[in-house]
């Protein structure tokens, strides 16, 4: 990643995170204050913890129990304890590897484009002073407001050669029906990249821009005095300082990519069922539950996805530095 | 200025983990679905009269006609997705079985294959109508009610019959002095010739979920050859199948047939220029007249195509929808639902006046034909209706509906290869591979899978 390669020499005194984590123990006499802070933290977190238990931990527990059951089949409609057989069913399913390959194909194309887009456009917005910059930030954000179905409807319109404003482009590729555009082998990762980029970039520009706004004027001024132009300022000062936000954006997008469901599912419908029903791992879990009526296998695959996304979450928290405490 | 501590830092980080992971957990856990319980069919409920029926868009008029004919019966009509080959209904029924409630009282299955799971031991939705409505069941010819005969019980009522006939554009044929084909081989030869002489004309469609019924079933291809409840014979590379593969390769390579499906939004423009196609009786009114808006006195039907050397035509069956009644109801609710089922299966107010397909219920067939003749849409009505009436006899046997949806697998696997120009070989291989794999994943033992 480009941010890893940046020169760190100009990162000044208030550099975030990692180093700050090794802060000293507080003086002994502050233990009373600590207890109060701790109580306060629990109080503030309690509504969230309640929701977490209801929509997170209980379903996970339920999934763990379900995954240990044996699924009824047309041969044997009884069920009972099945040990790890559901996990075996999942790992040996003929679609399991393909669904992950499909996701990797999307991630390999989408994530680099997404990150260059986010960082590049954030820097442009930040470098544009006054009303112009804030107007651009707002304009970039508009597509993000077209979430979910609205975004899909827009894309159905764009992807359909018979009505699309980019009809010429599709004709140039020899594509005359939405089925050919969506379902031709190899097209889907590019279409999903376009959809996800369009839908997601605006939100992340706002977030990364928040990081850029946090850079103190003294730092930028010092760099300018050292002779840094706009390009050097962006490359050697701004990007290293927003590294935690960029890392956070990258990993959250990877996590989102692993959970793709809505987009391939709906593209399947607009192309008259010509996309594989089990294109992404989440769709495979859905198929286990509702095509095969194999809820234990669906639960097992959900747990596999949970482990992957939790691992990504851990990396975000412990490696990006965004959640590190800072000493002022 | 704030003082931080290691303790608080740990806490903040832990909260961070929780916060970042929360949405992922919720989403991942959501898809885990419910447990493994099955519903006891003996726990039947009675709403006291009100019934809920689920219908696909073309069957909404049936439910509305019932509402008008029986104002005394309170009814809620729920319109469902009518895409043939999709399996959303399965999901909803699996959830109803988990919850132990929520089933519709009666349903029109948009995909005929749905009867396999709806009547199967895991979902156990459909009631035995052979017992509940014996007089209605008696009105059906044996081979027209056959798809509903599961485990010796009549678990659905057929709305219409959809055995394929052969449709052709009469004025176009007459103008160009083409002979109407009677064999599959002649059909392929003529399709290629028409494409050469009239490049704008199309002689069939391959991209919809009915395409394997139209072509592979008619070749007696082993896609749905049920040996017993848990064993199926699938082999699309046996000689019977390969004769159709050769034929399709010929017409696809010549671009004589469209790789679109008959229901695709883009199909109407192509459909206007149809020269000929095998197809169900409902093509006439529903597809040619209402959807593609082909002018009157253009299309006409003859009996289905035969294979050269065979004395009898070989045809598949494209739908001919099925009505099911819930096994989870009793009392007044059941009584009203049976009134509904009787109405939609046999009442002329729907089956003669409004239905676009040839009724499966025998006693109303002649009235439907008489009514259709009055409309005077077909180029040769006498030949068309005569072909329709006898067509059920040409449907090849041993093709029951299974837990896997053959048409859905075709649209997912074969169609992308066809629309992207990879040809029939690639489409055939992808279709065969997925068909066997899907059947195996559903618990079938697949015999002789090539």
Sheet strands (E) in B8-50: none
Number of residues in chain B? 450
CA dihedral in degrees (A79, A82, A84, A85; nearest 10)?
-60
How many helices (H) and strands (E) chain B has is answered by 20, 15
Share of chain B above pLDDT 70, in %: 89
Q: Please tell me the distance in Å from A158's CA to the nearest CA on chain B.
A: 15
Q: Yes or no: say if B326 and B106 are a contact pair by the CB < 8 Å rule.
A: yes
Share of chain A above pLDDT 70, in %: 86
Closest C-alpha among B20, B209, B31 to residue B110? B209
Cβ contact B411–A274 (<8 Å): yes
Give pLDDT, residue A162.
Answer: 84
Give pLDDT, residue A24.
Answer: 47
* B200–A contact, CB cutoff 8 A: no
**On the CB side of A101, how many CA atoms lie within 13 Å of its CA?**
6
Radius of gyration of chain B (CA): 25
**Number of CB atoms found within 10 A of residue A79's CB:** 17
pLDDT single digits (tens) A156-202:
889 999 888 998 999 898 888 888 899 888 899 999 999 999 888 88
pLDDT single digits (tens) B398-414:
888 998 889 989 999 99
A10 — pLDDT class (breaks 50, 70, 90): very low
In this predicted structure, the answer to whether residue B444 has a pLDDT above a threshold of 50 is yes
Give pLDDT, residue B38.
Answer: 43
Inter-chain contacts counted by CB atoms under 8 A, chains A and B = 243
Give pLDDT, residue A70.
Answer: 87
A3 — pLDDT class (breaks 50, 70, 90): very low
Distance CA A100, CA A305 (A): 11
Cβ contact A298–B123 (<8 Å): no
Q: Yes or no: say if A279 and A268 are a contact pair by the CB < 8 Å rule.
A: yes
Distance CA A149, CA A165 (A): 20
In this predicted structure, the answer to whether residue A14 has a pLDDT above a threshold of 60 is no
Distance CA B270, CA B357 (A): 23
Q: What is the mean pLDDT of residues B364-372?
A: 93
- Provide the chain B residues 398-417 that lie in CB contact (below 8 A) with chain A: 403, 408, 411-413, 415-417
For B92, the 3-state DSSP assignment is helix
Give pLDDT, residue A221.
Answer: 86
pLDDT single digits (tens) A17-51:
444 444 445 555 567 778 888 888 889 999 999 99
Number of residues in chain A? 328
* B76–A contact, CB cutoff 8 A: no
- Provide the chain A residues 32-61 that lie in CB contact (below 8 A) with chain B: 34, 37-38, 41, 45, 48, 52, 55-57, 59-60
Mean pLDDT, chain A, as a whole number? 82
Which of the residue ranges A31-35, A204-208, A299-303, B366-370 would you say has the lowest mean pLDDT?
A31-35
pLDDT single digits (tens) A219-263:
888 888 888 888 888 888 888 888 888 888 888 899 889 889 988
- Bridge partner residues of B140 (DSSP): B361
* B253–A contact, CB cutoff 8 A: no
DSSP one-letter code for B34: -
**On the CB side of B426, how many CA atoms lie within 13 Å of its CA?**
14
In this predicted structure, the answer to whether residue A65 has a pLDDT above a threshold of 60 is yes
DSSP strand pairing (A69-70 vs A80-81): antiparallel
Q: Yes or no: say if A97 and A91 are a contact pair by the CB < 8 Å rule.
A: no
Cβ contact B266–A176 (<8 Å): yes
Distance CA B218, CA B309 (A): 15
* DSSP conformation letters of B331-374: HHHHHHHHHHHHHHHH-HHHHTTT-SSEESBGGGHHHHHHHHHH
Q: CA torsion sign, B71 to B73 to B78 to B83?
A: negative
**Number of CB atoms found within 10 A of residue A151's CB:** 21
Helix boundaries (H) for chain A: 31-52, 58-67, 85-92, 96-127, 130-145, 148-159, 167-172, 178-183, 188-213, 217-225, 230-232, 239-241, 243-258, 262-270, 281-290, 295-319
Q: What is the mean pLDDT of residues B200-213?
A: 96
* Nearest CB partner across the interface for B25, out of A60, A176, A322: A60
Nearest 5°: CA angle at B204, between B202 and B208? 125
């Amino acid at each position: 990643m480009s941010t890893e390669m940046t020169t760190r020499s100009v990162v000044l005194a208030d550099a975030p995170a990692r180093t700050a984590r090794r802060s000293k123990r507080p003086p002994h006499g502050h233990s009373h204050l600590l207890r109060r802070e701790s109580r306060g933290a629990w109080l503030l977190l309690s509504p969230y913890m309640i929701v977490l238990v209801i929509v997170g931990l209980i379903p996970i527990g339920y999934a763990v129990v379900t995954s240990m059951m044996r699924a009824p089949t047309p041969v044997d409609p009884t069920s009972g304890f099945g040990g790890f057989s559901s996990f075996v069913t999942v790992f040996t399913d003929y679609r399991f590897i393909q669904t992950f390959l499909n996701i990797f194909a999307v991630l390999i194309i989408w994530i680099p484009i997404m990150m260059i887009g986010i960082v590049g456009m954030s820097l442009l917005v930040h470098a544009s002073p006054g009303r112009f910059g804030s107007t651009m930030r707002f304009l970039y954000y508009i597509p993000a407001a077209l979430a979910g179905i609205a975004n899909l409807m827009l894309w159905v319109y764009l992807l359909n050669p018979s009505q699309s404003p980019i009809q010429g482009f599709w004709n140039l590729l020899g594509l005359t029906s939405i089925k050919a555009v969506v379902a031709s082998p190899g097209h889907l990762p590019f279409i999903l990249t376009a959809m996800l980029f369009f839908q997601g970039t605006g939100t992340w520009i706002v977030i990364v821009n928040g990081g850029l706004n946090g850079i103190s004027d003294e730092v930028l001024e010092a760099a300018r005095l050292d002779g840094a132009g706009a390009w050097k300022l962006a490359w050697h000062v701004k990007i290293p300082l927003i590294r935690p936000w960029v890392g956070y954006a990258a990993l959250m997008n990877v996590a989102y990519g692993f959970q793709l469901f809505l987009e391939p599912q709906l593209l399947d419908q607009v192309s008259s069922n010509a996309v594989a029903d089990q294109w992404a791992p989440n769709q495979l879990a859905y198929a286990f539950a509702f095509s095969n009526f194999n809820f234990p296998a669906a639960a097992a695959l959900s747990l596999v996805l949970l482990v992957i996304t939790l691992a990504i979450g851990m990396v975000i928290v412990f490696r990006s530095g965004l959640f590190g405490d800072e000493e002022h | 200025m704030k003082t931080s501590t290691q303790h608080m830092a740990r806490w903040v980080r832990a909260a961070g983990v929780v916060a970042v992971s929360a949405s992922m957990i919720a989403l991942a856990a959501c898809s885990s679905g419910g447990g493994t319980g099955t519903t006891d069919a003996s726990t039947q409920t009675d709403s006291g009269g009100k019934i809920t029926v689920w219908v696909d868009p073309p069957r909404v008029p049936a439910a509305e006609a019932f509402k008008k004919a029986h104002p005394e019966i309170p009814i809620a009509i729920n319109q469902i997705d009518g895409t043939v080959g999709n399996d959303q209904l399965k999901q909803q029924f699996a959830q109803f079985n988990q919850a132990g409630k929520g089933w519709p009282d009666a349903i029109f299955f948009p995909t005929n294959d749905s009867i396999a799971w709806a009547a199967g031991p895991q979902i156990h939705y459909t009631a035995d109508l052979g017992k509940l409505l014996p007089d209605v069941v008696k009105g059906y010819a044996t081979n027209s009610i056959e798809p509903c005969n599961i485990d010796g019980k009549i678990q659905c009522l057929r709305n219409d019959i959809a055995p394929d006939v052969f449709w052709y554009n009469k004025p176009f044929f007459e103008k160009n002095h083409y002979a109407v084909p009677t064999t599959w081989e002649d059909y392929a030869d003529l399709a290629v010739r028409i494409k050469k002489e009239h490049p704008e004309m199309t002689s069939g469609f391959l991209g919809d979920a009915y395409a394997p019924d139209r072509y592979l079933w008619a070749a007696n291809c082993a896609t749905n050859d049920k040996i017993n409840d848990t064993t199926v014979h699938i082999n699309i590379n046996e000689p019977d199948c390969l004769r159709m593969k050769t034929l399709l390769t010929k017409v696809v390579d010549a671009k004589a047939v469209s790789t679109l499906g008959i229901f695709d939004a883009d199909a109407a423009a192509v459909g206007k220029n149809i020269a000929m196609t095998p197809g169900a009786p409902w093509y006439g009114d529903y597809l040619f007249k209402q959807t593609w808006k082909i002018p009157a006195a253009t299309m006409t039907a003859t009996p289905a195509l035969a294979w050269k050397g065979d004395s009898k035509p070989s045809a598949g069956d494209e739908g001919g929808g099925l009505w099911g009644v819930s096994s989870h109801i009793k009392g007044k609710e059941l009584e009203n639902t049976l009134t509904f089922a009787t109405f939609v299966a046999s009442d002329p107010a729907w089956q003669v006046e409004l239905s676009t397909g040839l009724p499966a219920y025998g006693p109303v067939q002649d009235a439907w034909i008489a009514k259709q003749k009055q409309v005077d849409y077909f180029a040769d009505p006498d030949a068309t209706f005569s072909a329709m009436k006898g067509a059920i006899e040409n449907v090849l046997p041993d093709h029951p509906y299974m837990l896997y949806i053959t048409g859905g697998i075709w649209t997912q696997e074969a169609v992308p290869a066809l629309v992207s120009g990879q040809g029939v070989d690639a489409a055939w291989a992808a279709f065969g591979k997925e068909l066997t794999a899907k059947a195996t994943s559903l618990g079938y033992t697949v015999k002789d899978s090539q």
